Amino acid sequence: MSVDSNAFRDFRAVLDGLGSIAPGEILSDEERVVRAKKLFLEKLDGPMAVDLETCIHCGMCAEACHFFEATRDERYAPIQKLLPLRRFYRRELSPMRWLFRTFSRDITATDLETWRELVFDSCTVCGRCDMMCPMGINLSTMINVMREGLASAGLVPAELQQLQNEQRDNDSVFGVDTTRLLEVVDELGRLGIEVPLDKDQADVLVLTTAVDLLLFKDAFGATAKIMNQLGVDWTMQSRGFEAMNFGLLSGDDAAQKRVSAKIVEQAQSCSASIVLLPESGHAYQALRWEGANELGEALSFEVLTMAEFIARELQADRLKLRVPSNGGSVTYHDPCRLGRHGGVMEQPRQVLRSLGLELREADSHGRENYCCGGGCGEYVIKNSAPLRRKAFGIKRREFDEAAADTVVTSCASCRINLMIGADEAGWQKPIESLTEKVAANLAS
């Protein structure tokens, strides 16, 4: 279950190489503002209006933010990240707009450029502030609208833009395409792990991510082992296996919709009743919670992430595990988009308990969990590296206090970010995949 150190080094080199090309659209200042405002107008809805009317500027949201906690820099207060959107709302949509237009200025291109750093480099849209706000304001949804507004104004960080363009133009992510998938499937085949590709009909369509194929091949292999052990009728489509959605991460609606539409097409082509997502928080959010809304109709299949699929199979007594006599202790790191944003919190804990592991919770866990520090694509943004490093200190402190043998998570992005943080801090705790833990303990 260890990660190949060469693969880890190579992957970090891939991350370091991003952003050297800055393929964002070249737009005039005026055009940027027009586009951002058009997007804000499209996206602002009744619930957001209620939220913007309700804020009392108490600033408590700052105390939920890992970046504020790590730096005490007031710019990182979540409500700060919304100020251009709030200004737009007040001047254009608010019932009191006639008054605000008199006393407040319009948003400018400089505002948008300033806020790019705040909503991309210094916010992982983790939603912890949503849980803190005494008014119940859903800040993260609106920060996402800020991201979308900046994306439409051509102000996505170069790294995210580059990956989104690659996914759109080359149908690959981090250079991982069908060829790479076939290589990994072949490698697994030599280990006796079969991956049934391109079946015409299957009950379950399994997706994976470029990160798994590059770095966490064991997690991919573990998924295949579990599926084969269960005897499930499953397949993977060699021309549509990618679950990552850089449209969601960059805030580009059209790009997000394109990726979701492709998955839906693949699922329909093999009549799958379940689409099983790999360990990826944002992929779950993009398809499970936003897919139908992006595409304008309910999905014809069920969307599950590995943690909830495994928990369900265990509960139904279809999946049998070996329970080691002394499995040790674990702390489970809740990926924000599976936990707070996704409702998958108890399932991974059920799985860990089924493995006979002692669960030692971090002080902040479940819906109050701290983000890994690099969520929502932030781990690819080079400018935010110093900030991520500081935020990792919070995770490290909480993990150390929990004093478990291992940290387990079910999101590859969280795992990478925690591994990078640990590597840079010289922190030795193993950071493992839930799926790999299960696959290593399948009853023969």
Q: Give the interface with other proteins as residue ranges (CB under 8 A).
A: 44-47, 49-51, 53-60, 62-64, 68-69, 72, 74-75, 77, 79-80, 83, 93-96, 99, 130-138, 288-293, 296-299, 302, 339-343, 345, 363-364, 367-368
Task: State which residue, 39 or 156, has the beta carbon closest to other proteins.
Answer: 39
Shortest spacing between CB 401 and other proteins, in angstroms: 12
We find the least distance from the C-beta atom of residue 154 to other proteins, in angstroms, to be 26
Structure token digits, residue 1: 């279950």
Residue closer to other proteins by CB (options 98, 428) is 98
In the numeric block, the tokens 């394109």 are attached to 258
Of the two residues 50 and 182, which places its CB atom closer to other proteins in the complex? 50
Minimum CB distance to other proteins, residue 45 (Å): 5
Q: Are 23 and 47 in contact (CB under 8 A)?
A: no
Distance from C-alpha of 243 to C-alpha of 240, rounded to nearest angstrom: 9
If the CB atoms of residues 31 and 368 are measured against other proteins, the closer one turns out to be 368
Q: How far is the CB of 215 from other proteins (least distance, A)?
A: 29
**Cα gap 342→129, rounded to integer Å:** 16
Residues 6+ apart with CB under 8 A from 111: 83, 84, 87
CB of 164 to other proteins, least distance (A): 23
Nearest approach, Cβ of residue 325 and other proteins (Å) = 34
Measured from the CB atom, the residue of 134 and 189 that comes closer to other proteins is 134
Q: What is d(CA 141, CA 314) in angstroms, rounded to the nearest whole number?
A: 34
Residue from 223, 209, 217 nearest 319 by CA: 223
Instruction: Tell me how far apart the alpha carbons of residues 279 and 219 are, in angstroms, rounded to a whole number.
Output: 8
Element (H, E) at 115: helix 109-116
Least distance from C-beta 135 to other proteins, angstroms?
5
Q: What's the min distance (Å) between Cβ of 375 and other proteins?
A: 16
The values of phi and psi at residue 442, to 5°, are -70, 135
408: nearest Cα among 354, 349, 367, 368:
349
Phi/psi at 57 (5° precision): 60, 45
From the CB of 335, what's the least distance to other proteins, in Å? 13
Q: Is the Cβ of residue 140 or residue 162 nearer to other proteins in the bound state?
A: 140
DSSP lists the bridge partners of residue 407 as: 331, 431
Quick one: tokens of 432?
A: 């493992």
For other proteins, give the closer residue by CB, 7 or 96.
96
What's the gap between Cα 157 and its chain centre?
Answer: 17
Closest by CA to 392, choosing from 333, 432, 311, is 333
Nearer CB in complex with other proteins: 298/316? 298
* Separation CA 303–CA 295 (nearest Å): 15
Q: Between residues 106 and 198, which has the closer beta carbon with respect to other proteins?
A: 106
Q: What is the C-alpha to C-alpha distance for residues 373 and 395, in angstroms, rounded to an integer?
A: 8
Min dist. Cβ of residue 357 to other proteins (A): 23
Q: Closer CB to other proteins, residue 24 or residue 348?
A: 348
CB of 59 to other proteins, least distance (A): 4
Radius of gyration (Cα) for the chain, nearest Å? 22
**What tokens were used for 200?**
């015409």
Helix (H) or strand (E) holding 351: helix 346-354
To which H or E segment does residue 390 belong? helix 385-402
Looking at this protein, which amino acid is placed at residue 6? N
Q: Is the CB of 51 or the CB of 242 nearer to other proteins?
A: 51
d(CA 205, CA 277): 9
